A and B are shown apart, each in its own frame.
Chain A
Amino acid sequence: MSDERFDSTVSTTCGYCGVGCRLEAHTRDGRVVSISPAHDGPANEGHTCLKGRFAHQFTRSRQRLSTPLIRDPPLRGAGGEGFRKASWEEATALIVSRLGEIKAMHGPDAIAGLASSRATNEDCYAMQRLIRAAIGTNNIDNCSRVCHSPTSFAMRRAFGLSGATGSFSDVDHTDAAILIGANPTEAHPVVGARIKQATLRGMRLVTIDPRRTELADYSVAHLAPRPGTNAAVMLGLCHVVLRDGLTDPEFIAARTEGFDALEELLGAYDPGSVEEITGIPGEQIEQAAHIYGEAENACLFWGLGVTEHRYGSEVVQLICNLAMLTGKVGRRGSALLPLRGQNNVQGSSDMGALPDTYSAYRPVDNEQVAELFEQAWGVPLSRQKGLKINEMFDAAVAGKLKAMWIFGEDVAQTDPNVAHVTHALESLEFLVCQEIFENTTTAFADVILPASAFLEKAGTFTNAERRFQLVAPAIDPPGEAKTDFEIITTLSRALGHEMGWATPAEAMDEIASLTPDYAGVSHERVGRHGLQWPVAADGTDSPILYEHEFSLPGGRGRFAALPYKPPGDAADDEFPLILITGRRLQHYNAGTMTRRTKNIELQDGDWLEINPDDAARLWIETGDQISIRSRVGRIETVARITDRIEPGHVFTAFHFPEVRTNLLVGSSVDVNTGCPEYKVVAVDVRPISEQAARTPALAAH
């Protein structure tokens, strides 16, 4: 349809959350003026949210980085520091010489890179190739480390592949669903709307969340566990399913292994015992287990409320147990659907931007795999696993890691234990940041490279359904800013490693040729409708995984007999409340983009949600300025009283650098993946006032 208001309309894929809405971006005079949803988008089916549709004005913000910046004066910590504008040639020469010096003096393992889950598959693949081939180390990671790495780990353990077993459209073909630790009507609004519509049509929903989220109001049952006790909840559900004969013995016998050990473990998790651990009434555990177990088809959704825990990866394995016990996996309407946080959290890891694996999770210490890439890239490659994000910061503080290249991640705002991250960034000898805006992290950079937003670049994102989808530029990057693909390939050339691609499409051809799981992927084939991996050489894709067998040796899924263990932090006399963090509808993660749009008029700050009982005890009223103190940090914000959170728990978001919620989060991480425990932080909350009170007061309640 032609439209007299627009110069051009470009079909692309949203760069906000992991739902992967297909969008039509309409431009006029070199700006995006409107975005509408593509009617044929498989994940969004003609719908999108206020972030995808409206939050695009940041692309032409006057604060966009439009030229390379170099620290001036060049000495770190010399005081009076600022940045001066520089040419690309000067910035490139500085990066090449400094990285060269550091590599010569300390070896390649003194350098590390972070790829970005906000960037395209081709950008991430190029970045890991630069770090591996041009630098010579496996010190490459990406921000999925801090969100869904436990999901990836656990699903590979249980089923074989790192991704959802089905598609979001399964929610239209299912009778029941359990939603665990996720608030999709705010964090993944289009999937949230799809789940809500399904409940209105009669789908029976169970929500498991310490907060009474919007979808909890649409649920048949809402289970509010104590933060950090998800494992006990899942074990309790499995116990009831087994006890009451709701399992699928044929499926268990034919397609799984490890059932006996699980059966033995489950004996201890009767509803009464689970109630003691989780605080959820035993009858609710029974009700939820029956809703799931009795449904012909049922889906399991989960978010970061499951993964960002000390035992997050184990809980995902326990979720997989429930699906296998009841045979509810591998068919339409019975899917396991992790709600991935960022637009390309799936893809950045798929592409091998990880310290231990090449594309499609093939280990770096596997001789055959390493040789394949050595042959393709024409350089020797390290067999030694690299550092994860949290280990990079530890190594920097210890003086072993000297240089980092951080691409599209504001680690100083979003990573846990901000004080430690800051110390690490200060300890580096050389830091390159590749960004679209200056942020908390770029303040520590030696060189800042101006990069491009998703509306300015070409490539593919892989959404939470394992679907490769095309990204196409609607507008040009501002000023001298370049696409990330051009920056990385050009820098790699300057560092002495020619990648040999002119376009992202050519990079995808290489990815396909070196990765059997993506063998049939090309930009042409991805087209308007996308391809869900694995994609065979003839282009056949896989909307449903594990229809006949699991992708593990023997084709059998693996039950995990993992007991409940307490979280890394617990409330005590000094820190009596448990803080949970999460997203709000109007903003997205560090807020770098959404705070620079009119979304700020809809929501201009963070606040702490607190139960009326706790508020009364602490003499706190809605609107009061409060202090939140944890074992590692202290922040201030305002309070809002709500009964949507249970007594003993408080909640806030992390979108505003003025609040810097992550100062409160300590160093506890998932035991298998190093994903931080953002969701259980013991805190002390108390009111503060601008001036010392001179008048004695009575309690407000």
Chain B
Amino acid sequence: MRVTVDGTELEVGAGATMLEAIRAAGTDVPTLCYDERQAPFGACRVCLVGVEGAPGPLPACTTPCRDGMAIDTQDETSRRVATAIVELVLSELPSAPAPHTELAAVAAKLNVGTPRWPGPTHPVEHDERHPYLAFQHELCISCGRCVRACDEVQGAFALSATGRGFGANIAAGLDSGFLESSCVSCGACADTCPTDAITENTLLQL
């Protein structure tokens, strides 16, 4: 089928998502909860785009293309909402994300600097008991990528989302740490984490 991305027409296969069409067209939208190794999740709403005829912005990662669709990655409402989301995410963190993280890259792309909103930030809570893997719980943005990497890529089912609202976070096993869980230490969670909420112990010591 044929779709249009920012005025450029292209052919996409059946079942392709808008994000795949956008990337195939050589352009891009920022994403936070998306990882090409996992099924699309649609949690972060940072990939919102405008679609001709749609009542409002749509998430590019989970929305399938249909024939004749016209996608606008520069849609003003979508960009405004995405920028506000990233600013809200940053406002919950006790410190700015490290420059190498995906979150930092997305914030830079959307020109989000120091968030305007004061208020509580996540308490610093580290768990470095595993020889390789470390939690920095205060950096978790609940994107679910680590949980899905553990389930869909490795199949160890060691991680889960815990808490709700501002207290939402991630836990290994029954929040007993990696060593007491069904973790097989593959590190897929650290690899996909866009904020270093799960990272490698050795990298923390650099």
Which residues of A pack against B, CB within 8 Å?
1-5, 28, 33-34, 36-37, 39, 45-50, 53-54, 185, 189, 193, 196-197, 200, 585-586, 598-599, 601-602
Contacts and interface: CB of A to CB of B under 8 A. Distances in A.
B186 A598 contact: no
27 contacts: A3-B100, A4-B98, A4-B99, A5-B203, A28-B206, A33-B203, A39-B37, A46-B36, A46-B37, A46-B191, A47-B154, A47-B186, A47-B188, A48-B187, A53-B132, A54-B200, A185-B184, A189-B184, A196-B155, A197-B152, A197-B155, A200-B155, A585-B184, A598-B131, A601-B131, A602-B131, A602-B185
A50 B37 contact: no
The 8 closest A-B pairs by CB, nearest first: A598-B131, A50-B185, A196-B155, A3-B100, A601-B131, A53-B187, A54-B132, A46-B37
Contact of B37 (A3, A33, A47): A47
Q: Is the interface of A mostly helix, strand, loop or mixed?
A: mixed
A45 B186 contact: no
A53 to B, nearest CB: 5
B187 A54 contact: yes
Interface of B: 36-37, 98-100, 105, 131-132, 152-155, 179, 184-188, 191, 200, 202-203, 206
A210 B40 CA distance: 39
Contact of A49 (B37, B186, B200): B186
Contacts of B184: 49-50, 185, 189, 585
Contacts, number: 70
Contacts of A602: 131, 179, 185
Interface of B is mostly: loop
Contacts of B99: 4
Given A50-B132, A193-B154, A39 B203 contact: no
Nearest to B37: A46
B206 A5 contact: yes
A37 B191 contact: yes
A193 B155 contact: yes
Contacts of A200: 155
Nearest to B201: A598
A47 B149 CA distance: 9
Given A5-B203, A5-B206, A197-B152, A48 B100 contact: no
Given A47-B153, A50-B186, A53-B187, A34 B203 contact: yes
Contacts of A36: 191
Contacts of A33: 202-203, 206
A4 B100 contact: yes
Nearest to A50: B185
Contacts of A37: 191
Nearest to B203: A34
Contacts of A197: 152-153, 155
Contacts of A49: 184, 186
Contacts of B185: 50, 54, 586, 602
A45 B206 contact: no
A601 B206 CA distance: 21
Nearest to A186: B184
